[in-house]
Amino acid sequence: MTPRRWTLRRRVTALVIALVALVAATMGTVSTYALQGSLVDQLDERLVATSDRGMNAARPPRGEDRDEPPPALSVPGQGAGTLTLTVDGAQTVAGYLDDDGTFEPLTIEQQDALTEAAADGEVRTVAVPGLGDFRVLARTDPDGVLLVTGLSLADVQHTVRDYLLAEGAVALAGMALAALGAGILVRREMRPLERVARTATRVAELPLHSGAVSLAERVPEADTDPATEVGQVGAALNRMLGHVEDALAARHDSETQVRQFVADASHELRTPLASIRGYAELVRRRPEGVPDEAQHAMARVESESRRMTTLVEDMLLLARLDAGRPLARAEVDLVVLAVEAVADAHAASPAHRWRLDVPDDGATVVVDEDRLRQVLVNLLANARVHTPAGTTVDLAVRRGAGSVVVEVRDDGPGVPDDLRPRLFQRFTRGDEGRTRRPAGAEPSTGLGLAIVDSVVRAHGGTIVLAESKSGSGAAFVVTLPGAVSGSG
């Protein structure tokens, strides 16, 4: 799994916070070291002065009480936090002035920590048990007396700690402000991009695949300023939308022209076809004096012209459906249509068994009556033409919730498998030899189901070939949407 990438807003905010933190840490470290160094230097200067005063003080009388402050500590000028240790031969006197300036003797352990410091005149830091860190200077006077002087580092450490705390607080506040600022800035800068994205999303949701498409969506003028990166994206998107709109318009124009041509051609063909049929009929009715061979030829002309008329009517109907002509909408009882269609089918082929299953109180929907009748006629014609005599054909009408279902089912040979994928496409028809067709039956063009599909879709419905294994018959299920009511 790839880790989810952060949004730009989040990344910029995080980067700004990290940079502020880095700068604050660097500045804090450098300035803290500088402050500490200068404070320790000052302390060291005071330490040398304190040590000088201690060296000038009188030697402690030998054998004096250890609890008295040693002279090096009681000379004027020695302040709180000062400690001294004097080693004069075998005698050691050591003491410490606490925060209140009160004298405290040093324990043996504390003295040991101090005597470990070498008497080389160098100032160093010594941790005195129980008292904390001290800057310590050890010196030996010409009489061989060792004087160790120390000044507490506590004040310096306090100051540095306070400084660090203040600096940390400022750094945190700075980071919070930077995060807020970055968030607001990025959000403001992103808003135009979000608008551009919204435009693209709206375009993506438009149905562009067919028909007349109005592609009016554009990125707002304010978001197409080429001086900004987002503006460049917006302007590019607008240019692209312009091109797409032109291309779609060109496609629609050429589609319309082709449709118009088919419709016009079909329309124009009707009149000459009617004349041809009429003359051929005339010869059939008045055969006197016409040789047998010519009569036969005229019969062929008549049947072919009838076939061509059907083809032309179908093509005209499809061209009109393609053009999206508005349907004639009226309340139609599908049960009435079904009864009529089955009666006609029975008249056309009494050799089939016709069965009807409809609701008693009707099924009224708002549809184009002529087109719907054609749907039933085409489906029943298929069940009649593409099945052998004796086949049972069921026509059922069912009312559903907000829809009506019409099913035409037969127990004939079924739709050949190779036809199924393109069954509803134009000019799809089965191998003539495989379907045993009654003599004199109307010729097949392969437009019947294409028309059914177009009509049903124009009504917002669907048609499917119900799943059935080849050989167990064909079942076409038409679902039409719309409020359905019984007439009773």
Ligand X SMILES: Nc1ncnc2c1ncn2[C@@H]1O[C@H](COP(=O)(O)OP(=O)(O)OP(=O)(O)O)[C@@H](O)[C@H]1O
Binding site for ligand X (CB under 6 A): 378, 382-383, 385-387, 410, 412-415, 419, 423, 428-430, 435, 444-450, 474
- Binder of residue 86, out of ligand X, Mg ion, none (CB less than 5 to 8 A by kind): none
Q: What sign has the CA pseudo-torsion 46, 47, 52, 53?
A: positive
- Binder of residue 430, out of ligand X, Mg ion, none (CB less than 5 to 8 A by kind): ligand X
95 near Mg ion, rule: CB under 5 A: no
- Binder of residue 445, out of Mg ion, ligand X, none (CB less than 5 to 8 A by kind): ligand X
* Residue 248 vs 315, nearer CB to ligand X: 315
Of 136, 146, 75, 66, the C-alpha closest to 105 is 66
- Binder of residue 419, out of ligand X, Mg ion, none (CB less than 5 to 8 A by kind): ligand X
- Binder of residue 412, out of Mg ion, ligand X, none (CB less than 5 to 8 A by kind): ligand X
| CA separation for the pair 305, 8 (Å, rounded) | 72
Angstrom CA distances, 265 to 138, 255, 259, 270, 318, stand at 122, 15, 10, 9, 13
Residues 218-247 that bind Mg ion (CB under 5 A): none
CB of 382 to ligand X, least distance (A): 3
* Residue 142 vs 421, nearer CB to Mg ion: 421
| CA separation for the pair 410, 352 (Å, rounded) | 10
Query: Would you give the distance in Å from CA 155 to the centre of its chain?
Result: 60
| CA separation for the pair 263, 289 (Å, rounded) | 40
| CA separation for the pair 187, 9 (Å, rounded) | 7
* Residue 320 vs 386, nearer CB to ligand X: 386
Question: Contact with Mg ion (CB under 5 A): which of 92, 199, 382, 479?
Answer: 382
Show the site string, 447-466: x = touches Mg ion by CB under 5 A, - = not. Answer: -x------------------
CB of 394 to Mg ion, least distance (A): 18
CB of 385 to Mg ion, least distance (A): 6
Asked whether the beta carbons of 179 and 16 are under 8 A apart, the reply is yes
User: Which residues does residue 32 pair with via DSSP β-bridges, in sequence order?
Assistant: none
CB of 302 to ligand X, least distance (A): 18
- Binder of residue 474, out of ligand X, Mg ion, none (CB less than 5 to 8 A by kind): ligand X
Angstrom CA distances, 483 to 36, 117, 125, 402, 488, stand at 88, 105, 97, 5, 15
Tell me which DSSP letter residue 442 carries.
P
CB of 398 to ligand X, least distance (A): 19
Asked whether the beta carbons of 20 and 177 are under 8 A apart, the reply is no
| CA separation for the pair 100, 111 (Å, rounded) | 21
* Residue 53 vs 277, nearer CB to ligand X: 277
CB of 416 to ligand X, least distance (A): 6
- Binder of residue 446, out of ligand X, Mg ion, none (CB less than 5 to 8 A by kind): ligand X
412 near Mg ion, rule: CB under 5 A: no
* Residue 343 vs 441, nearer CB to ligand X: 441
| CA separation for the pair 24, 104 (Å, rounded) | 43
* Residue 41 vs 432, nearer CB to Mg ion: 432
For residue 137, report the phi and psi dihedrals to the nearest 5 degrees. Answer: -125, 125
List contacts with Mg ion (CB under 5 A): 382, 448
